[in-house]
Amino acid sequence: SNKIWFTQEELNQVYRGRPFKLNYRYSQILVTLYISWMYSISMPIMPIIGAVSFYTSYWVDKFLFCNFYCTPPMYSDEMGRTCTSLVGLLVVVHLGMSMWMMGSEGIFKGEHVSTAEYSQEFEGVPQDTTLMEQLSKRHLFPIQAVLVVYVSGVLISQLSATFLRKICGFLKCLTCSTGGKVKNLKRNMNMVPTDYTSACEREIIKGISSYNILQNPKYQEAFAITPEFAATHCRLSSIRGYNT
């Protein structure tokens, strides 16, 4: 190519890979996970298909991330925590879809709790039944019990955690403790905008601004030279006889 790049940044941009969109990958994985387990009760092969999809996506993303995509920015853990909480919601969706499918006469026949002699034959056309009649079948009781136990456990854990946080906050208020503020400050420390000079002073940016090896503090200590000497010299041969 006869194109001329006037800066190193322009040349780097040509060979820099495309950005890795982590939010897109999270959403695609969640869609695959939800679809696989929503319909797994009527199509048992769906979790297997989902597992194959996850395995393939892992290796494809790993290869592209190492050979094609550019280095991503520093993400926080907020996206991962949100996706993990959505996996818990999947349990409720899976159990709800299981009850709806297993309660349908077109998929699975069974007797109602109200009558033990419910054995109407299926003739190829789904029978007109209400939602309560579908959910009142005997074979749905284990699924309903698991759903009630799971939802109750989640609610109790959330309420207990909230209650404990309020108790801890009340005790900190009585003792004039500021532990929570310090933790929040440390958590958001790297999210506060700062300039280059301040970042160097706080050691957020570590390293030297030059390729001169003599300006590296570690080599200055090893060679017993001063920063003023390193600022005017750039070769190792110049330190010969410096301390003699």
Which amino acid is present at 208? I
pLDDT of residue 29: 92
pLDDT of residue 125: 45
Residue 174 and residue 168: Cα distance in Å, rounded?
Answer: 10
CA dist 131 → 103, 160, 228 (Å): 9, 34, 84
User: CB of 215 within 8 A of CB of 230?
Assistant: yes
CA dist 75 → 21, 82, 101, 190, 242 (Å): 11, 13, 40, 11, 47
Q: Whole-prediction pTM value?
A: 0.56
Residue 75, helix vs strand vs coil: coil
Exposure string over 206-229, b if 16+ CB within 10 A, otherwise e: eeeeeeeebbbeebbeebebeeee
Q: For residue 11, what is the enclosing H or E element?
A: helix 8-15
What letter would DSSP give residue 112? B
pLDDT of residue 2: 61
Q: What angle do the packed helices 179-187 and 141-175 form, to 10 degrees?
A: 110
- Mean pLDDT, consecutive 10-residue segments, the chain of 244 residues? 72 80 89 91 90 94 87 81 88 87 71 53 51 73 86 85 76 66 62 68 67 81 84 81 64
Exposure string over 77-105, b if 16+ CB within 10 A, otherwise e: eeeeeeeeeeeeeeeeebbebbbbbbbbb
Residue 115, helix vs strand vs coil: coil
Residue 137, helix vs strand vs coil: strand
pLDDT of residue 122: 44
Residue 69 and residue 66: Cα distance in Å, rounded?
Answer: 7
